[in-house]
Amino acid sequence: MASRVNDQSQASRNGLKGKVLTLDTMNPCVRRVEYAVRGPIVHRALELEQELRQGVKKPFTEVIRANIGDAQAMGQRPITFFRQVLALCVYPKLLSSPDFPEDVKRRAERILQACGGQSLGAYTISSGIQLIREDVAQYIERRDGGIPADPNNIFLSTGASDAIVTVLKLLVAGDGRARTGVLIPIPQYPLYSAALAELDAVQVDYYLDEERAWSLDIAELRRALCQARDRCCPRVLCVINPGNPTGQVQTRECIEAVIRFAFEEGLFLMADEVYQDNVYAEGSQFHSFKKVLTEMGPPYATQQELASFHSVSKGYMGECVQAQRVVVVKPELVENFPDHCHGSTVPDPLPRPASTHALPCRCGFRGGYVEVVNMDAEVQKQMAKLMSVRLCPPVPGQALLDMVVSPPAPSEPSFKQFQAERQEVLAELAAKAKLTEQVFNEAPGIRCNPVQGAMYSFPRVQLPPRAVQRAQELGLAPDMFFCLRLLEETGICVVPGSGFGQQEGTYHFRMTILPPIEKLRLLLEKLRHFHAKFTKEYS
Amino acid sequence: MASRVNDQSQASRNGLKGKVLTLDTMNPCVRRVEYAVRGPIVHRALELEQELRQGVKKPFTEVIRANIGDAQAMGQRPITFFRQVLALCVYPKLLSSPDFPEDVKRRAERILQACGGQSLGAYTISSGIQLIREDVAQYIERRDGGIPADPNNIFLSTGASDAIVTVLKLLVAGDGRARTGVLIPIPQYPLYSAALAELDAVQVDYYLDEERAWSLDIAELRRALCQARDRCCPRVLCVINPGNPTGQVQTRECIEAVIRFAFEEGLFLMADEVYQDNVYAEGSQFHSFKKVLTEMGPPYATQQELASFHSVSKGYMGECVQAQRVVVVKPELVENFPDHCHGSTVPDPLPRPASTHALPCRCGFRGGYVEVVNMDAEVQKQMAKLMSVRLCPPVPGQALLDMVVSPPAPSEPSFKQFQAERQEVLAELAAKAKLTEQVFNEAPGIRCNPVQGAMYSFPRVQLPPRAVQRAQELGLAPDMFFCLRLLEETGICVVPGSGFGQQEGTYHFRMTILPPIEKLRLLLEKLRHFHAKFTKEYS
């Protein structure tokens, strides 16, 4: 210590000082944060794009970013109705233009009237505009077959990530108490591992069963919980349904079992349901934790604490919105299919079909919400207080969320175009999910579970032992080595499975199904071809 | 402990369980967070508004929210140019409409071309759209008389709050090391106290000198630092300039002294400059820390670490944007006055006049940025990583920031209307700052420093000892008691000084200068009258 002081004095005399903030002195929790979805591979992809622009010769002409679920960057057109309403909200002079349908104008006026000074530019109350929270509550009620939702239990947020971190903040221990353990699925969406590292909570991994289409097994939950008890105080169970990156959709039985488990073990439930509107596979259906919990009756319905998250940044129809379900059996039926999300309050008269179907999104608007169930009233006040420090979620995202939870009704002028645009996206996405699974499973050494929901595939790749060895020599995870080589040789950007977590000795990558179908076909073929070449090279 | 287990088993047999998350088990750091700007007084204001709507009789007909700097909620009209460009970005079909000027279209096209898939709905890179960061860098260069700014040192954010918390996160200790001390001004903007409580850092108060127009005194900084050393490791010095809630503007000499102090004491500097475009008083001028630091030369210019914050949520011209300065001597000169912010790269040919002038804003869009100077390169990578976990700042806010840092140039068709709208707002704001100071200082028992900048007054009120005693009986801070009574009897909502911090035994409140001038006059008169009545009642 004394010598450091001397060094400093010396440095000071020379006018040279060390930095206040260095890798050694910075918050070690932040250092431990990792976030693969925007990690080194994406950084390299950006560099390659720049090199291409500068005319550097590459074995490819463009970088295809299949690393992130960003529909509009992939060329998907926005839904006209959403954009028209938003344009009118932004520039209300257009309300007198003859070029916009009447229902678009009514909708914009309704949103503007709910804003301070009738302007999107005013702050809103911290939990979000009251009218929009009421619309979200009605959407949830329709989704859950009439089970009531209280707008006071709904908090709007800047995308789902923001709300998830806020709830986690309440649950971590602080002040030198035993650290809070949080059970998360592996593979997981790395927001969870990143937030837990930052908040200095303990990540408790439970493994999804790849052999059974990434299903969630209660015995595995119990194993994880028991093993965690000696190193932390496990208090939270996170479930991602539909799965990200794994694309599975939980059965109702599974959700019931998870709720019973959480109740018995005294765990706070966090249900990440941001892909609830993106369910593709026949026989798969989305069940909300809120609905199942309520239908299970007491004590679960009355006591089990739950926070359920949605996001405008994902959801269906290329408009970054998570809050709308589209229910179809076959794409050609979409146009005629009644949708529980219409603004009308008439309940959906048809039974839920065997297959549901929904779509990707727009992400730049960053809207979302969390609904809390059975939360302690005092804690809920604390949550509202914490959210108020950031003043309010961005208002354009709030407005977009409102349109998504209450799209045009069949009687309204915008309905027909809205449905047509939706159908186009729907049909293509269903085809892309299928194509992805097919092409991968025809390739030797690649195996892909069905893409039941969300918008990613997470195929498993066999890597030859010599490739694994070479990666280790380079200090890289083997699947990172594979993905980096893939990027350098083909321009295809996917995220290595090690960024999401996977069983020791297995290797995966996450790839979105969002590129236009012809581009996706080419991409899948290139990928298959590259894997074969890579395997040969290291065999 | 054993008895608690028995209690739990018993409860379990009855199907009754305690909540996982209660006030006792929740994160104590979150419990300690306080945020007066949206605290109990605002809660009560909302209730009163609801009661008025329900027809409950009150001694007033409307609640006037003078608690928060939200120009558009106060009826200020948005700037046409900003809204037109944003509408075209949101709904690009309007690009072919004859109703929009050519420069608006060119601007929208330029922003869209910089977005993924040419859509605001796509994610952007985590630090924000490259083009916009380049435009911000050019804005900073013009502001600072040509001192270079590197787009790679600029990170866009969701309002300034988001960026401030991110930088603080890097600086806190974590892992059981000595807690980080952060020096903040008192009175302060309570984002700081809230963030420090949440991050479990130590708040080190230095007092601004009310007798000398809230100036910053180095001796007081030194006192605060010395006294803090035995309870924490002070590593950060925050300065808010122009002041919030205090409205003072630091002199260049003061800023130089602060920089020397930070350098000598090894402190990381955080300069909250979100009101840099809102400078009203004659003789006051904004100096950026970046410019002063650079002009001081080595070792300061080359070594002192600095993060400077701006926000689209505040700044000038009722459009929630912090990043544009308007320089005027008298309002009538505005139209002819060259502005360093114009898109042109020609430096401002005129000397900076003695008085600068600028305006409030639109807040719902939530855009902002931080520029880091002399930050360790590895730490800067860590900061980029941390920001990437939240994916990206909302894109509409990014687009708005771009327009604000490069408004129409004199040669462009939108220039004239833009200038006229700006002048209208400018003239009114200057008048309102003056009026506020005048009326308060004419009232016995109220004293108000000049509102040199930002958009708040922070007058000191004398409260009679019996009122103080009554407040204590009610368990309230005396100024909270005063503000609550004011709200109940007049409908005027202001924030008590205790929410910002003040010298023991002094009482203040923060009030915005944003209401329309006739309403403001009425409000000031009512306030003066209420204070007289209150004083009489408790004398």
Per-residue confidence band for A38, with pLDDT thresholds at 50, 70 and 90: low
Percentage of residues of chain A with pLDDT beyond 70:
81
Q: Does the pLDDT value for residue A13 go beyond 90? A: no
Q: Could you say which residues from 172 to 211 on chain A have a Cβ atom under 8 Å away from some Cβ of chain B?
A: 172-175, 190-191, 194-195, 198, 200
Q: Could you say which residues from 467 to 526 on chain A have a Cβ atom under 8 Å away from some Cβ of chain B?
A: none
Q: Mutating which of A8, A91, A189, A417 best tests the B interface, going by the most B Cβ atoms within 10 A? A: A91
From chain B, the residues in CB contact with A366 under 8 A are 158, 391-395
Whole-angstrom distance, CA of residue A450 vs CA of residue A249: 10
**Interface membership of A377 toward B (CB under 8 Å):** no
In 10 A of CB A466, how many CB atoms? 12
β-strand pairing of B233-240 with B460-461: unpaired
CA distance B445 to chain A (A): 32
Q: Does the pLDDT value for residue A405 go beyond 80? A: yes
Tens-place pLDDT, residues B464-482: 999 999 999 999 999 999 9
Q: Does the pLDDT value for residue B370 go beyond 70? A: yes
Per-residue confidence band for A46, with pLDDT thresholds at 50, 70 and 90: confident
Q: Name the phi and psi angles at B120, rounded to 5.
A: -60, -15
In 10 A of CB B39, how many CB atoms? 18
Whole-number average pLDDT of chain A: 82
Tens-place pLDDT, residues A131-158: 889 999 999 999 999 999 999 999 988 7
Tokens of B84: 């037109």
From chain A, the residues in CB contact with B361 under 8 A are 121
Q: What is the pLDDT of residue A17?
A: 74
Question: Which are the contacts of A412, defined by CB distance < 8 A and separation ≥ 6?
Answer: A101, A103, A343
Q: What is the pLDDT of residue B332?
A: 30
**Interface membership of B256 toward A (CB under 8 Å):** no
Q: What is the pLDDT of residue B346?
A: 28
Q: Do A72 and B121 touch (CB under 8 A)?
A: yes
Longest Cα–Cα distance in chain A? 82
Tens-place pLDDT, residues A47-93: 998 899 999 999 999 888 888 766 555 666 778 998 899 899 889 99
User: Smallest Cα–Cα separation from A326: which of A291, A274, A278?
Assistant: A278
Q: Do A363 and B121 touch (CB under 8 A)?
A: yes
Q: What is the pLDDT of residue A335?
A: 30
Q: If you write DSSP's letter for every residue of B361-410 in order, what string do you get?
A: ---TT--EEEEEES--HHHHHHHHHHHHTT----HHHHHHHHHHHS---T
Q: Do A33 and B75 touch (CB under 8 A)?
A: no
Q: Mutating which of B19, B21, B70 best tests the A interface, going by the most A Cβ atoms within 10 A? A: B21
Q: Do A121 and B391 touch (CB under 8 A)?
A: no
Q: Does the pLDDT value for residue A380 go beyond 60? A: yes
Q: What is the pLDDT of residue A338?
A: 30
Whole-angstrom distance, CA of residue A387 vs CA of residue A333: 42
Per-residue confidence band for B341, with pLDDT thresholds at 50, 70 and 90: very low
Tens-place pLDDT, residues B374-422: 999 999 988 888 887 766 667 777 888 888 888 899 999 999 999 898 8
Residue corresponding to tokens 């009447």: A102
User: Smallest Cα–Cα separation from A135: which of A162, A117, A154?
Assistant: A154
Residue in chain B lying closest to A235 (CA): B20
CA distance B407 to chain A (A): 17
Question: Which are the contacts of B142, defined by CB distance < 8 A and separation ≥ 6?
Answer: B340, B341, B345, B347, B348
* Helices assigned H by DSSP within A190-251: 191-198, 218-228
Tokens of A408: 């045009």
Of A90, A174, A389, the CB nearest to B27: A174
Residue in chain B lying closest to A298 (CA): B15
Per-residue confidence band for B281, with pLDDT thresholds at 50, 70 and 90: confident
Q: If you write DSSP's letter for every residue of B32-45 in order, what string do you get?
A: H---GGGSHHHHHH
Q: What is the pLDDT of residue B71?
A: 59
In 10 A of CB B75, how many CB atoms? 16
Tokens of A523: 């991409």
Q: What is the pLDDT of residue B276?
A: 87
- Identity at A535, one-letter amino acid code: T
- Least confident piece of the model among A29-33, A141-145, A237-241, B164-168: A29-33
Residue in chain B lying closest to A14 (CA): B299
User: Could you name the CATH architecture of B31-72+424-537?
Assistant: Alpha-Beta Complex (3.90)
Burial group, residue A453, by CB count within 10 angstroms (0-12, 13-18, 19+): buried
Q: What is the pLDDT of residue B10?
A: 46
A435, A426 Cβ separation under 8 angstroms:
no
B526, B492 Cβ separation under 8 angstroms:
yes
User: Smallest Cα–Cα separation from B371: which of B430, B267, B290?
Assistant: B290
Tokens of A417: 């175009």
Q: Mutating which of A1, A49, A366 best tests the B interface, going by the most B Cβ atoms within 10 A? A: A366
CA distance A477 to chain B (A): 19
**Interface membership of B366 toward A (CB under 8 Å):** yes
Q: Do B19 and A305 touch (CB under 8 A)?
A: yes
Q: What is the pLDDT of residue A341?
A: 32
B51, B290 Cβ separation under 8 angstroms:
no
Q: Do A72 and B382 touch (CB under 8 A)?
A: no
Q: Report whether CATH 3.90.1150.10 matches the domain A30-75+426-537.
A: yes
Q: Does the pLDDT value for residue A235 go beyond 70? A: yes
CA distance A342 to chain B (A): 23
**Which whole number is the average pLDDT over B343-362?**
28
Q: Report whether CATH 3.40.640.10 matches the domain A123-423.
A: yes
User: Smallest Cα–Cα separation from A370: which of A389, A352, A393, A391?
Assistant: A393
**Interface membership of B298 toward A (CB under 8 Å):** yes
Q: Could you say which residues from 20 to 49 on chain B have a Cβ atom under 8 Å away from some Cβ of chain A?
A: 20-23, 25-31, 33-35, 38, 46
**Between residues A35 and B190, the one the model is more confident about:** B190
Q: Name the phi and psi angles at B366, rounded to 5.
A: 55, 65
pTM for the model stands at: 0.82
* Helices assigned H by DSSP within B209-323: 218-228, 252-265, 289-295, 300-303
Tokens of A391: 């003043």
Q: Do B394 and A394 touch (CB under 8 A)?
A: yes
Q: Do B386 and A198 touch (CB under 8 A)?
A: yes
Tokens of A130: 């009251």
Q: Do A158 and B366 touch (CB under 8 A)?
A: yes
Q: Do B84 and A73 touch (CB under 8 A)?
A: no
Q: Could you say which residues from 73 to 132 on chain B have a Cβ atom under 8 Å away from some Cβ of chain A?
A: 73-76, 78, 83-84, 86-88, 90-91, 94, 97, 99, 115-117, 119-126
Q: Do B121 and A362 touch (CB under 8 A)?
A: yes
A413, A137 Cβ separation under 8 angstroms:
no
**Which whole number is the average pLDDT over A9-31?**
72
**Interface membership of A382 toward B (CB under 8 Å):** yes
User: Smallest Cα–Cα separation from A403: which of A78, A145, A132, A88?
Assistant: A132
CA distance A131 to chain B (A): 14
Q: If you write DSSP's letter for every residue of B335-358 in order, what string do you get?
A: GG---TTSSS-SPP-SPPPSB---
Q: Could you say which residues from 424 to 463 on chain A have a Cβ atom under 8 Å away from some Cβ of chain B?
A: none
Compute CA distances B187 → A117, B71, B109, whole Å. 29, 23, 44
Q: Do A120 and B84 touch (CB under 8 A)?
A: no
Percentage of residues of chain B with pLDDT beyond 70:
81
Tens-place pLDDT, residues B203-245: 999 999 999 999 999 999 999 999 999 999 999 999 999 999 9
Q: What is the pLDDT of residue A357?
A: 24
Q: What is the pLDDT of residue A329?
A: 26
Domains of chain A, by residue range, sit at 30-75+426-537, 123-423
Q: Do A121 and B362 touch (CB under 8 A)?
A: yes
Per-residue confidence band for B117, with pLDDT thresholds at 50, 70 and 90: low
Per-residue confidence band for B280, with pLDDT thresholds at 50, 70 and 90: confident
* Helices assigned H by DSSP within A119-217: 130-143, 159-171, 191-198
- Least confident piece of the model among B157-161, B181-185, B338-342, B395-399: B338-342
Tens-place pLDDT, residues B487-527: 999 999 999 999 899 999 999 999 998 888 888 999 999 99
**Which whole number is the average pLDDT over B124-131?**
77
Q: Does the pLDDT value for residue A3 go beyond 60? A: no
CA distance B68 to chain A (A): 9
Q: Does the pLDDT value for residue A323 go beyond 60? A: no
Q: Does the pLDDT value for residue A350 go beyond 90? A: no
Q: Do B394 and A392 touch (CB under 8 A)?
A: no
Of A19, A30, A235, the CB nearest to B305: A19
Tens-place pLDDT, residues B436-446: 999 999 999 99
Tens-place pLDDT, residues B297-312: 999 999 999 999 988 6
Q: Mutating which of B74, B91, B162, B303 best tests the A interface, going by the most A Cβ atoms within 10 A? A: B91
Residue pairs spanning A and B at CB distance below 8 A: 316
Whole-angstrom distance, CA of residue B508 vs CA of residue B207: 14
Q: Do A83 and B73 touch (CB under 8 A)?
A: no
Q: Mutating which of A1, A32, A81, A123 best tests the B interface, going by the most B Cβ atoms within 10 A? A: A123
H or E element in which residue B163 lies: helix B159-171
Q: What is the pLDDT of residue B16?
A: 64
Longest Cα–Cα distance in chain B? 82
In 10 A of CB A508, how many CB atoms? 29
Q: What is the pLDDT of residue B335?
A: 30
Residue in chain B lying closest to A65 (CA): B116
Compute CA distances A509 → A363, A462, B354, whole Å. 22, 11, 61
Q: Do B200 and A174 touch (CB under 8 A)?
A: yes
Whole-angstrom distance, CA of residue A417 vs CA of residue A402: 19
Of B31, B320, B395, the CB nearest to A121: B320
